[in-house]
Structure 1
Amino acid sequence: MRRISRLGWTAYAIAVGVIALDQAVKFWILYGFNLPARLTTPVIGPFSLTMVWNKGVSFGLFRADQDLGRWLLSLFSLVVAAALAWWARRTERGLMSLALGLIIGGAVGNAIDRIRFGAVVDFLDFSRLMFPWVFNVADSAISVGVALLLVDSLMSERKPTS
């Protein structure tokens, strides 16, 4: 078995950081700020904090209202995170390491919510900017990670075929 690359460890560290930040912010939203009791709180300009219990995947897609769906989504998130962690162990490009760490951390952060609460805690609301979804730190990490993964794939050198 090949050793984990330095950038693989970097991806794991980023994932742990995303999970910690995501769960800390959600803890504050639920218990410190008590957003569930407030429902919506304007913050600044078009930004509000709005409490949403998301039973689907990112941005409320593919709702899982039944308990089986909740566990299947949790399992799927963890399997994807494990597959990406396996891929990350051999990465040799910094942008890919960052992207994989963000996606792994976001997937695990949301899986933790699904397991603990039966739904994902969403609260970042920019609907006044015509962005209709309420999301969280983990969703943001996944979205940015996927975008960076696409950029990395476009930037990586391709060996010409002979």
Structure 2
Amino acid sequence: MNMTQYSLTKYFSLTALVILIDQITKLIMEAKFQFGEFKPITVFFNLVLTYNPGAAFGFLAQHDGWQRWFFTTLSLLASVFIVIYMRKSRHLPRLCLGLAFILGGAIGNLIDRVRIGRVVDFLDFYVGNSHWPAFNIADSAIFIGVAILLVDEFSKKKP
């Protein structure tokens, strides 16, 4: 195995780890909680079982089901694009790291859409009565990946 193959292997291993942690936590939440049930953890954080048939922040969640296949297709296409882009960018470690997190998150939520037609969310942060929309490990991985890509882009030397 040459060094290039090893480099991508570690990024795809990270992707697999994100997917595994995401799916395990979602299955645990579904086994232990009923829809809408919550457990306070701190003064600003609950665990709560909720489902999102839409995208981020419930975007398009109120529609009659077509969005399941739209977001499934979009996730599949994005995942293929990310894999191709990672292969072409294997010499850029920070870029591949960010993309590995994003890929893991995209596939984690894709599995939910295929498995149950919606995404399992359970992390509920709030201040007083103001709640951030519930999210999950896959969403967190996507956020981390985007943050890494932004740091990578802004840290590049400008000519």
Alpha-carbon distance between aligned partners in 1 of 2:6 and 2:157, rounded to the nearest angstrom: 21
Letter matched to residue 50 of structure 2? V
Q: Residue 95 in 1 paired to residue 94 in 2?
A: yes
Q: Superposed, which structure 2 residues align to 1:67-86 within 5 Å?
A: 67-86=65-84
- C-alpha root-mean-square deviation of aligned residues, in Å? 2.0
Q: Superposed, which structure 2 residues align to 1:1-162 within 5 Å?
A: 5-31=5-31, 34-36=32-34, 39-63=37-61, 65-89=63-87, 90-128=89-127, 130-157=130-157, 160=159
Letter matched to residue 36 of structure 1? Q
Question: Could you list the per-position Cα deviations for residues 36-80 of structure 1 after superposition, in whole angstroms to 9, with x for gaps in the alignment?
Answer: 256111112311011211011123223263332201101101110
- With normalisation by structure 2, the TM-score equals 0.87
Letter matched to residue 86 of structure 1? I
Question: Could you list the per-position Cα deviations for residues 70-116 of structure 1 after superposition, in whole angstroms to 9, with x for gaps in the alignment?
Answer: 01101101110110111112322322121111000000000110111
Q: Deviating runs (4+, > 4 A) in structure 1?
A: none
Residues 1:103 and 1:121: Cα distance change in structure 2 (over 3 Å): same
Identity %: 34
SS state of the match for residue 123, structure 1? strand
Preserved CA contact (<8 Å) 1:15 1:102? yes
Preserved CA contact (<8 Å) 1:46 1:128? yes
Mean alpha-carbon deviation: is it higher for 113-122 or for 89-98? 89-98
